[in-house]
Amino acid sequence: MSLVTGKIMSILRASRLLVTMLAACAIAVPANAAVSNADYVKIETGGSGKTSRSVVLGLNKAAIVELPVAARDVLVSDPKVVDAVVRSATRTYLIGLTVGQTNAFFFNDKGQQILDLEIRVERDLTGLRDALRHYLPDAKIDVQAMNDHIVLSGTVANSSDADKARDLAERYVGKTEQVLNMLAVDSKEQVMLKVTVAEMQRNVIKQLGIDLSSALTLGKFAASLVTTNGFSLQGELGGATLKSPLSWRSRRLSIDQTLKAFEEDGIVRTLAEPTLTAISGESAKFLAGGEFPIPVSKDNQGNITVSYKPFGVGLAFTPVVLSEGRISLKISTEVSELTTSGAIVSQGMSIPGLNVRRAETTLELPSGGSLVMAGLLSDKTKQNIDGVPGAKDVPVLGALFRSRDYQKNETELVVVVTPYIVDPTNRKKIALPTDGYAPASDMDTILMGRLNATYGTNGSAPTDKKLKGPVGFVVD
């Protein structure tokens, strides 16, 4: 037997011995013991194991991976996030394409894992951090990336710096909704706004007319002439109605005349000074007045649905302290009152009209500075002449056949705003309208007609001996 044949026979005998041993082992396994192929499966996930590494890659930037041994295969779980360019067996370029997360596996020629990279692609915020340090050197701002968003945190001196930081981040990202502003303001400035609404109105009405009544009798023929010249502009308002003593009568002719004359001068003064305080960046509203009901509709049962319309002195504003002493204000102010002009009367219900003075704008003022935010100068004139056609145009004598109705309205309105940056103070330093008030005694009320006792500041008696009459906080 040759040497090769002997080796072959030895291998066959060893194979039969191995098969016999495996069969014996199989017979030795209990019947109730379950053996599954899954027990021999090995599963490795990204981020676990000694070969795992993590890397943060900037958007549209690259990283170079140098391997200690040659790689055969490279697997990227999401090629849309990271592109892997294999330059050589030991060098690979990773390029961040979009913001997101992925991982990459590197294997050698035997299928063994060389490296597992957990890759997170984010925006490179170095430029934004440098810009914030340059434009806001005193602010303490931390910038973090969260997926495709930017989170601003830290503290700034005022709301203006917070707005500037947000604007810089929005310009860097390109979209407003991708910036989350979590900046805190060190000191919350409080702004007190004082608004003065001053208005003067002057109304003039003049009416003048002559009514004639004449009768003529010639035998069996009788004729009469009656003229009534009304006032079409205002209607007949009343006033002095004079029957002229100049009447002429004869046996056949009688003439009577009635003179109507009326004149009215009126003046209205309106002054409202609402004051309101709010934190910088927050809105505040104020209303001193009331609400009147307005019927809206009826339901199937005939019940009336009512809504309420507010009126009075109203103020709403939103202050933003831009820098030391500079305040941006978004203001809306209104002064309204009920009036019969434009009122609606229907089915026994009367809905009044509103005389409204309203202004809304955005201003920028220093603390303590005043500015006229709105103003109005109005001069309106109306005049009508009513009379008998033809006769009213006759010079001199035409005045007997016509009437004149004249109206003139003048209005001057000014709205002044003054903001102040204020701080809290001691309660004892605050004065109230009711401080020092003392009701008058029965003797002062009956004999002197006083409603309140005479008093001075902080309840002290007035020092001016020439002062006469009731003196107080409101009454002077």
Give the pLDDT of residue 45. Answer: 62
Tens digits of residue pLDDT in 309-347: 888 888 999 998 877 678 889 999 988 888 877 778 776
Domain map (residue ranges) of the chain: 40-122, 125-187, 269-422, 425-462
Give the pLDDT of residue 219. Answer: 63
Supply the mean pLDDT for the chain.
76
Instruction: Give the residue-averaged pLDDT of 130-156.
Output: 85
Give the pLDDT of residue 40. Answer: 54
Give the pLDDT of residue 13. Answer: 52
Higher-confidence residue of 143 and 43: namely 143
Give the pLDDT of residue 331. Answer: 92
DSSP state of 447: I
Instruction: Give the residue-averaged pLDDT of 222-240.
Output: 65
Say if CB 393 and CB 399 are below 8 A apart.
no
Give the pLDDT of residue 464. Answer: 45
Tens digits of residue pLDDT in 155-202: 887 777 888 888 888 888 877 888 888 888 776 778 899 998 888 889
Closest Cα partner for 65 from 20, 22, 18, 116? 116
Say if CB 131 and CB 168 are below 8 A apart.
yes
Tens digits of residue pLDDT in 277-287: 998 888 999 88
Say if CB 213 and CB 256 are below 8 A apart.
yes
Tens digits of residue pLDDT in 27-59: 333 444 444 455 555 556 666 666 788 888 888
Give the pLDDT of residue 303. Answer: 76
Binned at pLDDT 50, 70 and 90, residue 147 comes out as: confident
Closest Cα partner for 160 from 141, 185, 130, 140? 185
Percent of the chain with pLDDT over 90: 4
Query: With 80 as the cut, is the pLDDT of residue 272 above it?
Result: yes
Tens digits of residue pLDDT in 417-474: 999 988 888 888 888 877 777 788 888 888 888 888 765 555 455 444 444 544 444 4
Residues in the chain: 476
Say if CB 339 and CB 324 are below 8 A apart.
no
Instruction: Give the residue-averaged pLDDT of 403-429.
Output: 87
Dihedral sign, Cα of residue 391, residue 395, residue 400, residue 405: positive
Binned at pLDDT 50, 70 and 90, residue 270 comes out as: confident
Tens digits of residue pLDDT in 216-227: 666 666 666 666
Identical fold, 40-122 and 125-187 = no
Tens digits of residue pLDDT in 458-472: 545 544 444 454 444
Query: With 60 as the cut, is the pLDDT of residue 22 above it?
Result: no
User: Which string of DSSP letters, residue by residue, matches 129-179?
Assistant: HHHHHHH-TT-EEEEEEETTEEEEEEEESSHHHHHHHHHHHHHHHS-GGGE
Closest Cα partner for 225 from 235, 238, 215, 239? 215
Instruction: Give the residue-averaged pLDDT of 289-305.
Output: 79
Query: With 70 as the cut, is the pLDDT of residue 261 above it?
Result: yes
Binned at pLDDT 50, 70 and 90, residue 14 comes out as: very low
Does pTM surpass 0.85? no
Fold of 125-187: Histidine-containing Protein; Chain: A; (3.30.1340)
Higher-confidence residue of 237 and 114: namely 114
CATH superfamily, domain at 40-122: E set domains; domain 4 (2.60.40.1380)
Largest CA distance in the chain: 185
Say if CB 51 and CB 114 are below 8 A apart.
yes
Binned at pLDDT 50, 70 and 90, residue 211 comes out as: confident
Name the amino acid, one letter, at 188: K
